[in-house]
Each structure stands twice: as structure tokens, then as C-alpha cells.
Amino acid sequence: MADYDPILSVRNLRTEFSGGRGDVRVLDDVSFDVGRGKIIGLVGESGSGKSMTALSLMGLVPKPQGRVNAGSILLDGTEISKLDAAGMRRIRGRDIAMVFQEPMTSLNPVRRVWEQVGEPLAIHKGLGRSAIRKRVLEMFEMVGIPEPQTRLDAYPHQLSGGLRQRAMIAMGLICEPKLLIADEPTTALDVTTQAQILRLMRDLRDRVGTSIILITHDLGIIAEMCDEVNVMYAGQMVEQANVFDLFENPSHPYTRGLLASIPRATEARVARRMPSIPGMVPNLAKLPPGCRFAPRCRDAMPTCQRPPDLETVGTGHVARCWLHAGQTALQSEATR
């Protein structure tokens, strides 16, 4: 997955929570890159660790139970995983910003929209009210909010879900961050609005060159939006590839299961409610001894009782699966 000079480089990230019955590792040895101006997908069922990855990057893992215990996060060459709370506050909203699934919960209902959207400018750039208001208006125009002048003074509940999400994207981009993380940004929206928001994000990447991590449980969105894809399962990366290779040659049985569950457009409404892969994401406190997907895997074999490594299946394409162990073994034979 080595991108030349990526904007973000995550290596061996480990995030853990301590609770009554010991530690739970919600992220285990997570590594990936985000190339400059690229849209990188994080995909996986609910509970696979996508949001925890985002929160770990943002320094927002709930404390004191949760913490990032190992690994490195290089943002444009700067190590940010060891920063203290004050250091992270300086970066968050300025260099790395995040848009959440449900904009209503991240907006204060009793403050006017422009004041909230412009807040990063007050925090990071020390701008005065009139300069902020002017810049928010520009951002509203950029993200396609109609009649932007009249929306500035609205309260969050006076905007539709789609407009609120546009406003949140405006807020995320207002300090021109190096990286925008969008965590299920369209999941709470109707299908038409969802398509508009996705188009907006792709336009922003094309026009402004924003690097984006797009988190979704929907491989259809990945296919439409992303350059590279990271498939997560039970706190680990299980497959990483560029978007063409992932769909042409899905190599982890989990990815194949996700692909098989993409509904065709006509049956989308029904199909989306049906379970895609039998069984459930395992409880992280009681993981199976070997491959974490083995209990649900049609291709499981005795070897799967041992944990698989990420194996190379093609150029820039890896899968954490014993089915592909031969290739890496042969390569190491050759170099001996």
C-alpha cells in the first residue's frame, strides 16, 4: 500500500479499552496510508473498528478507559499519536477534521449555524466575527447551500438533514485541513440527499484536492467514491487494495461476503435489511484463537486455528487469510 509521500501514514496502531473484565483491544496492528488528494475507504460491518480508527487519528478516543497504546500516526510527516491534549486541540479542526454520521448531535441546537461552522476559525486563526461570517458565507457557497446568506443565522433545526451535513462539511473544511475524515456521512440521509453529499465530497477532492478518509459499511459507496480500500474486521485490517483490484479480485472471504451482499438497485430497499454474512462480528473480549473470521467463513480449514498475517496477493494488494499464504512463503523462499 506504499503511497509515495502520503499525507497520512498509520502504522501498527493499537487502541485499547480497560473495563471490569480486563482490556479489550478494539484496534490491533492497524496500518494504512492516505495518498495526497485521494479518497480512501474504510469499510466493514458495524463494530469492526472503523469509528475507533477515526477517533484514534483525531485524539478523541474516550478517556480514561480508552487509549492509543502503540503505533505511529504521521500526518504530513509529523508524528501526532504522542501529542498531549493541548497539542491535539491545536491540530484538530486545523490540520485534521471530521464529519460525523448525525450532524444534529454534533451541532448545538441553541447556537446559530454560522457561529458554529466558523468556530474553528476563531480557535485556530483568531479571526473576528465579521471576517468569520464572511468566510462561512463563502464556505456555504462552496458546499452548495442554497440561499447561503439567509442560512447563516439559522438554528440547526431549521435546516434539513442534507443542509446540516453540508454545513458540517463546510465546518470540517473551513481551515483547509490536510485530511478530512467522514464517518458514515450519509447514513442518516435519504437516498437522493446521500447521492448529493457524496457528489459534493468528490467535487471537493477534484477542485480543492482534499484528502479524505471515507468510512462506510456500504461497498456500493466505496465503489463510487474511493481510490483505495481498507476492509476492517474485528479491529484488524483484513484486506487492502486499490478499488479496481478489490472489486475485480476480492481475496478475503469476508470481502467476498460483503460484495455478495451489495443489493442491486431495484431490490435495494429490501436487500439492505437482510443479513449479508451469516453470524456476527465477534465479541472482542472473546476472540477466536486463530483467524477472527474463521467461525463465519465458508472456506475455513484447520490452519485457520492459527492467526493469519497480511499476505501479498498482488501489487499493493494484501489479505489476512491463509488461502493466500503460499505466495508470501514462496517469495521468502526465493530471497533466502
Ligand X SMILES: Nc1ncnc2c1ncn2[C@@H]1O[C@H](COP(=O)(O)OP(=O)(O)O)[C@@H](O)[C@H]1O
Q: Report the residue number, 43 or 139, with the smaller CB distance to ligand X.
A: 43
**C-alpha pair distances (Å), 207 with each of 68, 72, 148, 203, 282:** 34, 30, 20, 6, 41
- 41 touches ligand X by CB under 6 A: no
Rounded to a whole number of angstroms, the minimum distance from the CB of residue 265 to ligand X is: 25
List of long-range contacts for 270-277, beta carbons under 8 Å, 24+ apart: 276/45, 277/45
- Which range of residues in 48-56, 111-119, 250-258, 307-315 is near ligand X by CB under 6 A? 48-56
Cα 314 from chain centroid (whole Å): 23
- 46 touches ligand X by CB under 6 A: yes
- 62 touches ligand X by CB under 6 A: yes
49 to 78, contacts with Mg ion by CB under 5 A?
50-51
Q: Report the residue number, 106 or 328, with the smaller CB distance to ligand X.
A: 106
- Which range of residues in 62-70, 173-181, 294-302, 321-329 is near ligand X by CB under 6 A? 62-70
Choosing from 11, 14, 17, 154, the residue that interacts with ligand X (CB under 6 A) is: 17
Gap between the Cα atoms of 149 and 334, Å rounded: 66
Q: Nearest CA to 29 among 79, 83, 75, 69? A: 69
Residue 305 interacts, among ligand X, Mg ion, none and using kind-specific CB cut-offs from 5 to 8 Å, with none
Gap between the Cα atoms of 97 and 8, Å rounded: 13
- 185 touches ligand X by CB under 6 A: no
**Which residues are at the interface with ligand X (CB under 6 A)?**
17, 24, 26, 44, 46-52, 62, 65-66, 284
Which residues of the chain form contacts with Mg ion (CB under 5 A)? 50-51
